[in-house]
Amino acid sequence: MTVDKGYVDAPVAEGTDLAAEIRRLKKEKHAVVLAHYYQSGDIQDIADHVGDSLAMAQYAATLDDAEIIVVCGVHFMGETAKLLCPGKKVLIPDMNAGCSLADSCPPEAFEAFVREHPDHTVVSYVNTSVGVKALTDIVVTSGNARKVIDSLPADEKIIFGPDRNLGNYINSITGRNMLLWDGACHVHELFSAEKIAALKEEHPAAEVLVHPECRRPLTLLADCVGSTAALLDHAMRSDAREFIVATESGILHEMRRLCPDKTFIPAPPSDSTCGCNDCAFMKLITMEKLYNTLRYELPEVTVDPSVAERARRPIERMLALS
């Protein structure tokens, strides 16, 4: 069996109950499926754990009994799981599930940037390759970035990469002046402040929930700025009945499941008449690919041993602070 296309391209018999077969294979192979909130609803429903990048990393680090970890997310999430669980087989249903933000920060270019500022502590967002993590002092997620930055001395010089929007947001709420790498997530870059303002006029009682990977004009409109987990928690606790949500639309599945009496309105992108904003990379993961991944135990995530230990240390430092 080959994975020349980046995934197992094997036929699935017509009429196969994919959910039942996936549950059977998980049990048979002592496999655990982790899914990000940006996955489609059927993937989230079949997963053993659903969360944001921080929660997925934290959960992976506790999986002593599992023999196989299947990461339903993008490639750097699979790499993170492998770094934290080097003795386990880590699979991802489609190796083509990349990340525009990680791609915006090539390790060679980032290394040159770091060398230009040797007196700086390097803080990298988890949405990066193993190569970038190996150049990093401490990793952060959108859920813990402020906590990590606040833990560093006030006069410490910091490089923050690769997301300029998250970095600008953290600078604005901490008073820091971190040196920022000029990268961004293509999904969060596309949200329109004008369209959100128009939605707010149509739904004046709605609260606006914004991910910090969005540009500053959007965070200024927000009632809550936070990671996917933080936005979900706010929606559950808030007395509001309507919410305009400016992050990848997959999170709406969990919001609607946990808050069935509330209304969640996806914020539209600026260049489309579509009413939502999806990450095409996240949506490459399907039930068929997950089923075949469990059947054939492919594709497998590997990490170059020459950088694995250096890449693992900043993640473990983050987890110790979280």
Query: Tell me: the pLDDT tens digits for 8-35?
Result: 999 999 999 999 999 999 999 999 999 9
Amino acid identity at 29: K
- Bridge partners, residue 179, by sequence: 159
User: With 60 as the cut, is the pLDDT of residue 248 above it?
Assistant: yes
User: With 90 as the cut, is the pLDDT of residue 53 above it?
Assistant: no
User: 276 pLDDT band (50/70/90 cuts)?
Assistant: low
Tell me the mean pLDDT in the region 179-196.
94
What global pTM score does this model have? Answer: 0.93
DSSP β-ladder status, 49-51 and 31-36: parallel
pLDDT of residue 259: 98
Tell me the mean pLDDT in the region 264-292.
86
pLDDT of residue 13: 94
Q: Which residues lie below 8 Å from residue 252, measured CB to CB, with a gap of 6+?
A: 245, 264, 266, 276
pLDDT of residue 322: 74
Amino acid identity at 249: S
pLDDT of residue 150: 96
Three-class DSSP category at 202: helix
pLDDT of residue 295: 98
CA angle 174–181–155, rounded 5-degree value = 35
Tell me the mean pLDDT in the region 135-155.
95
Structure confidence by residue, pLDDT tens digits, 55-107? 888 888 888 889 999 999 999 999 999 999 999 999 999 999 999 999 999 99
Q: Which residues lie below 8 Å from residue 142, measured CB to CB, with a gap of 6+?
A: 52, 53, 125, 166, 211, 212, 213, 226, 227, 228, 230
* Full strand arrangement of the beta sheet holding 179-180: 138-140, 121-125, 158-161, 179-180
User: With 70 as the cut, is the pLDDT of residue 242 above it?
Assistant: yes
pLDDT of residue 52: 87
Show the domains of the chain with their CATH numbers. 18-96+282-302 (3.40.50.10800), 101-184+311-321 (3.40.50.10800), 191-266 (3.40.50.10800)
User: With 70 as the cut, is the pLDDT of residue 274 above it?
Assistant: no
Structure confidence by residue, pLDDT tens digits, 218-230? 999 999 999 999 9
Report yes or no: 318 and 140 within 8 Å, Cβ to Cβ.
yes
CA angle 319–320–322, rounded 5-degree value = 60
Q: What percent of the chain has pLDDT over 90?
A: 89
pLDDT of residue 58: 85
pLDDT of residue 275: 55
Please choose, from the candidates 175, 116, 135, 146, the residue with its C-alpha nearest in 3D space to the C-alpha of residue 54: 146
